[in-house]
Amino acid sequence: MKKCQKTVLITGASSGMGRSTVIALAKQGFVVYAGSRTPDKLFDIQTEFIRPIKLDITDPQNIEESIGFIDEIDILINNAGYGLVSTVEDVTEKEMFDQFNVNVFGILRVCKAVIPKMRKQESGVIINISSFLGKIGLPLFTFYNASKYAVEGITDSLRYELKDFNIRVHSIMPGFFDTNFARDNLVTNSKTFEGDSAYAEMVSTLAPTIVAQINEGNSTEEVSEMILEIIENVNFPARKTAGDKAKKFIPMKKELSDEDFERRVRAYYDL
């Protein structure tokens, strides 16, 4: 095992890409503080290199208490997040707030707590796990889309803000990956999924397709390998796609007009 002295903090570490990344980085000798609201799910892999901590990114006090004792954090991986599936017409105020509270405000809270540590040590890497849906829209995913567009904006602005302190900021835009996301990290609005909903036809066409694509998606190892590459390569691009769907749709969006791209998406998903 390669030994290193670097310390990593990762959010949403108990499953999927988060858990895979914890294991991959620990194997390389990183000391990984694996943050999760359910840290007990990480006890089975706990070692001197993997240190589960209870971390709720919606609670500023918990963030301070959970990471305040960590003197230096070399790498921050903002991975925690979930997807709300709802039409704009049906969404509740709480659903809207909760989506942004986790996917957007949560990232900002953790960055706010970690940046002073990185600035003091005059170095650091922040990696935001975004989505290819941070660059393209899909019906029923308006709020998830909007939250991930916001993550891309945060990444862009922080790159300017932190450059003088030798802190790099990157985003990874995954497509659909074989994780528990479809089962554990998709929240559905009940009205949107009612049989007599005005959007019932769209739901019956799109929702099963998306779930199937997630369940049949790429291996999470692709993302954990990319994270390691970002850490080691100071010239890594600001953002990069991961997974088949992201690699297909993002270049297509750059090449086509908005209208032509929309027609392609409609045809692909039979909308």
Which residues are tagged catalytic? 14, 130, 144, 148
How far apart (Å, rounded) are the C-alpha atoms in residues 133 and 144?
8
Retrieve residue 257's tokens: 């007009």
CA 263/CA 16 separation, integer angstroms? 32
**8 SS3 class:** strand
Q: Do the Cβ atoms of 133 and 89 come closer than 8 Å? A: no
- Residues 6 or more apart whose CB falls under 8 angstroms from that of 111 comprise 76, 78, 126, 154, 158
DSSP letter string over 71-96?
S--SEEEE----EEEB-TTT--HHHH
Residue with tokens 């004792």: 69
Provide the sign of the torsion angle of the four alpha carbons 56, 60, 62, 63, taken in this order. Answer: positive
Which stretch of DSSP H or E encloses residue 145?
Answer: helix 142-162
Q: How many C-alpha atoms does 43 have within 13 Å on its Cβ side?
A: 6
In terms of C-beta density within 10 A (0-12 exposed, 13-18 middle, 19 or more buried), how is residue 105 classed? Answer: middle
